[in-house]
Homo-oligomer: A and B are copies of this chain.
């Protein structure tokens, strides 16, 4: 790409990447939100997605550690607080564990990461490495999937409450909070990249960063879809709902 976009054109280009590649379009989310999964499959989703959640404050701390501007650090720090909470006050990670609790997953098993799909780990770790190794502009741009989060969260909460008797509003408290946090975070990051991407190569890098992040999310669902929707595809060592419930007995 050689032409310089206006900030508004850059935003349009970013939003069109989301329209094509954000994981709300993934068939696994259709199954999840439409009540087409059984409890074991929802467990597998929540278990694997917990690894992503657990790495988000590390990702944000990496950005913090690379930021020279104290004002930017002050604003970005809020993301870590949102996920890790405060003394005596739950953050996003604790709320996600309420979901895995409600689904009947053992908390130590969830925290251990033992049953993760390797592909989950590889995708999430790729995100951490990206944020550490690329430019600060690209690191911030890779957070822009939050722009597209509110729509999927609303669908998810409504769909899961309507379709699964093992899911309650308390179990979904994580998403309630994100409905307000995500747009605030995304708007800040969007303003940042529209302001700081002043050259065509920087704008290209920003667009690529968002594509990369969409791939990180999409490939996590591909792995879940492959392992847990059709029988016989769970990779060696990964969470197996059937085996787990057999152990319960």
Contacts and interface: CB of A to CB of B under 8 A. Distances in A.
Interface stretch (A62-70, A117-125, A137-145, A192-200): A117-125
Interface string A196-233: 00000000000000011011101100110111001011
A219 B118 contact: yes
A236 to B, nearest CB: 5
A134 interface: no
A79 interface: no
B215 A118 contact: yes
A237 interface: yes
Contacts of A21: 236-237
Contacts of A226: 222-223, 225-226
B236 A225 contact: no
Contacts of A126: 121-122, 125-126
A34 interface: no
Contacts of A125: 122, 126, 129
Given A126-B126, A129-B129, A225-B226, A119 B219 contact: yes
Interface string A93-121: 00000000000000000000000011101
A69 to B, nearest CB: 28
Contacts of A150: none
Number of copies: 2
A178 B21 CA distance: 39
A235 B222 contact: yes
Given A122-B123, A123-B119, A236-B21, A219 B223 contact: yes
A119 B235 CA distance: 15
Given A122-B122, A129-B129, A219 B235 contact: yes
Contact of A235 (B118, B218, B236): B218
Contact of A215 (B212, B215, B230, B235): B235
Interface in A143-189: none
Most buried by B among A125, A232, A236: A236
Nearest to A230: B230
Contacts of A215: 118, 235, 237
Interface string A3-37: 00000000000000000110000010000000000
